[in-house]
Amino acid sequence: MCGIIGCVSEKDCYGALYDGLKRLEYRGYDSAGIAVLGEKLEIFKKKGGVANLSAFYARGGTGIGHTRWATHGAPSDTNAHPHRAGKIALVHNGIVENYASLKEELEEEGERFRSETDSEVLAKLVARAYRGDLLAAVREALSRAEGSYAVAVIAEDRPGELVAAKYKSPLVAGKGAAGLFVCSDVPALAGAADYIAQAEDGEFVRIAGGEIFFYDKELRPLPKTFFRPQRELCALSVAGGGYFMRAEIGEIPRALRDTLGLLKQTDFAPCARVLRGAKRVFAVACGTAYHSALVFADVAEREAGVPVICHTAGEFRYRPPLIGEGELLIAVSQSGETADTLEAARLAKARGAYVVAVTNIGCSSLAALADFCIVMGAGAEIAVAATKSYNCQLLCLYYLAAQLLFFKEQRYPDWFYALDDLCSAAERAFSCFAEADALADGLKSARAIYYLGRGLDLCTAKEGALKVKEIACVFAEGYPAGELKHGSLALVEEGFPVVCVSTSRALAKKSENALAEVKSRGGFCALFSQYGDVLEDSCADFKCLLPALPEALMPAVSVIPLQYFAYKMCIERGFDPDKPRNLAKSVTVE
């Protein structure tokens, strides 16, 4: 979940490394550091955000940088990367699972460690193996490491050279007028690299002599094709210097429009046989993406009559091996690098399943692994809390559910023809923001919030609750409205806030019963619905009218005021919505 970057340039590289780290900061902002090799090797690292490095500067054309999300060792100057050992400086993303035994062995041999991190072990191992051949030393050191890694390494006596390696953590190489790079993510190279190439698991990258070389695990040269990155993945600025999250909510209509355009150009024929023959479908994802998978499960089961079994990806791997030959797995991940989702997809493929990926990054590890990939057009999403990517995931999964029905029965569901209306409905949902402002102002001191829903609305309730937990640091839970009286109602007291989403006419009265239970115990009720009469007849204290769409499509729109409400709650409570406490955007460790 950390971010790494390395650069070899004919000019001073400090500025390029610093700019790259600012773009990578959504991967972690506990601490940051830069090492530059000029006349000597200089390292600057500080607890806190990348901005803390702006007070430093070093001259030299070879360097590495890191922005950290703490795993081993608390955020501190000492635990920040880069780590130095002898002539070596190293940055690392991932987890060395056997670091404790390696550290004990090295300490018995006289090594002394400054930090509490697992990553310093790698620096020590590289330094001990280094005899002038940096590539060979990195390979020898990593052969002893278990777990996951993307590393970038420089040596004090090798100016102009950088070695990187990857295993189960993302790594790309790039080249442009600013220099030659390695990096965790494509967006961090925006404006610096005109062409990129991906490293695969077990591969090494060496920058030397003004060129980029790839090697396999035996250090045999590998051919690589460099390509231009998607322009939209490099659009990272925020107009007016505001927050990325607010800007990305505002981009939802555009993102839906672009995604729908991509879907209409996608040929689903390659997976037609699997969709037609699917007796059951598995769906795996984490966090927000898991909630989109829940929507897919409900819609696909209703329309195509196919059982859809949803698992959080981290649990899927450790359950009995139900998936098998010829079955279908849907893997959803905004980044395409979510470690648990990748491992679940690998496991499914190993058991003979067909894997369909839904991701925002067409050049991601998940896209490469999948048998078929659906790429959404959300564009770069920098705020840690997912917003526009969730709406686009839903659109992609609606489209996939429609294809599932089409290949089974040669017809599309009725709501399929209303997908073109999603973009304008999303724009109309912005009219709810003034009411959401007022709701946030009234609930900013709340210690906990329940979100209620039934059917598809339960998925929206879960996502709304997650957003408030993530960025406003308010305990929140999404519950089935009918479950409230089976335990959760015990916490409802005078003023306790409950938010209900009710977009199913058939279930509206059932949801209203739950609100009545809350009201009778002094709770505060907020209701969101696209039906005016449902709002008019409700006992809710707060009522918000949503744009109208076919009920199956409402989750893509009803969530928008909840996303904005969470953002506003965060601001009201004095937090940074782009950098929530203890979280990072791309979860590349298990």
Give the residue numbers annotated as catalytic, written as ranges: 2, 585
Going by C-alpha positions, the residue among 261, 317, 257, 258 that lies closest to residue 284 is 317
Q: Is the peptide bond before 550 cis (omega within 30 degrees of 0)?
A: no
Distance, in Å, from the CA atom of 369 to the CA atom of 99, rounded to the nearest integer, reads 28
For 400-454, where are the E strands, in sequence order?
448-453
Q: The tokens 């609100």 sit on which residue?
A: 515
Q: The tokens 């920040």 sit on which residue?
A: 80
Q: Give every CB contact of residue 91 below 8 A, 6+ residues apart in sequence.
A: 2, 4, 5, 6, 33, 35, 64, 65, 66, 81, 82, 83, 119, 151, 152, 153
Element (H, E) at 123: helix 119-129
For residue 228, what is the DSSP state? P
Q: Residues, the chain, total?
A: 590
Q: How many CA atoms lie within 13 A of 104 on its CB side?
A: 3
Q: How many CB atoms lie under 10 A from the CB of residue 200? A: 14
Residue 166: strand, helix, or coil: strand
Q: What is the dihedral of CA 287, 333, 357, 348, to 10 degrees?
A: -60
Q: Is 289 left (phi over 0), alpha (psi -120 to 50) or beta?
A: alpha
Amino acid code (one letter) for 542? F
Distance, in Å, from the CA atom of 402 to the CA atom of 379, rounded to the nearest integer, reads 24
Q: Are 201 and 222 in contact (CB under 8 A)?
A: no
